[in-house]
Structure 1
Amino acid sequence: MNLNWMPCVLLALCAQKLQGLSVEFGRPLPFRVALGRELVLQSITKKLPTEDIIMVTWERNGDTGMRRLATIPGKIQDYRISTEDGGTTLRLSDIQESDFGRYIITVTGLDGTQSSAYKDVRKSDRPPEASVVLLCDVSPEGAQWDSPVVTWLVDGVKVTNQTAHTSEGGSKLHLQELKGRNYTCISNSSLGTSVAHFILPDSAVSGNPCAVCVCSSNIIVALLAVLCWQ
């Protein structure tokens, strides 16, 4: 045995011992939450089989300074707070202005070892934009070397990246910015060209709350649209 390896082995064993207990958040980016909504902070803990977590604390560093939110086992400082998974998951309902800031979790092992992690929580000023999508579903009749290239026409006018949003490959057409009535899907591949049409019903154009239509043609199995207006 090469004795020169011994210091490295000992250092590795010590590092493994020191790094036995740890806590982290899976996603490094800040969370955004709207006022009145619920915040869920789920941490990931790692420990050696021989280690036990005897205490979990949650704190928030915000506009009013550092504040202890919960100690598990122990006291929870706010009636809106609840914890799960032995305290490593925090739920905070009815988000208020004072709730934004940096949330810090600290786990403590039986031998006094501690590990901490933090997650920044910021205010969401506007909800994400919802999108209604037309799907051009192309089912090949056999093996082929290429993928279909999909082109969309709205009232006879070709859709471009400047006039509408399509998914990669063009199979999905997002309708939130389109006001047309006649939608055409053209699929081109080594198997040939196939065309399908979807015409918005008059009832939907005149303000009917919801219309659902399905069209199919040759290789194209379905064009499905669900259009809803308040």
Structure 2
Amino acid sequence: MDPQYFLSWKAALLFLLMPRGLRCLSVRILNQEPFHVIPGSSLVLKARIELGPLEEVSQVTWEREPETGIDPERVTLASCPGGGPECAGTRPNVRASVEQQEATLQINGYGEAESGVYGVSVTDHAGATATAQCIVRTYEAVHHVSVSVNVSHSTLVCSEAWGTEPRFSWFHERVAVTEAAGRVSGGGATLVWTETPVVCGHFTCTVSNKLGHSSATYTAAPCETEGRGTTAAVVCPVLLLLLGGGLAFVLWRRHRHGNRGERLHEHLDDTV
């Protein structure tokens, strides 16, 4: 009998008889799911391989399939032998490697067609297989920002269509809203206005992410502030004084001209 053939069967038998705790082949993708990628950049996925003391990796395979669909088509992206770090990619922009129980897949020039469910399969020398999956989606810019109001609750709600990782910022009359003026909730999308009993003035919501920002403004009735009341209280008396002074001056001028006419008439009578 061929010694190599005998040893291979012996190894298989030992694996089957091996205590369950020594067979712990598993794999997990380290990227947070869903993983978003900006178009044109590089997609990099990393997977951690866990092996038992007597296990060895014989094959690592990366695949992709659509996230939705009745019968999704699975595409093989790279296949890596367990004995070396280099892997064979199926496309020029695909790179893969296996180093120290960590498998890496890199796709350069990521496009929307690369989105989907990515899977990694690890096979050991005895034929046991472990798999892991990760959803990859395209990083979207911010779109269609709008602001709505609930007047009875002094609440403003900022909405955004489908941008990835949106961040919300609120401004009142072009000044950032502070905690003293309003309370932000709902991940920053909702503003409860607490400075006045009713919503007034101009409120702007700005939504931003890695690809840019967009904003929308809600315009309410003008705010009645103490400064405006004080100004009116000062201006009105001044105007009244000016009007009164002008009227008194006109009356004085008329009275003066009337007296001059009477004196001139009396002087003419004396001369005649």
Query: What's the TM-score, normalizing by structure 2?
Result: 0.42
The answer to which structure, 1 or 2, has the higher relative contact order (CA under 8 A, 6+ apart) is 1
Query: What's the TM-score, normalizing by structure 1?
Result: 0.48
Q: Which has the higher strand share?
A: 1
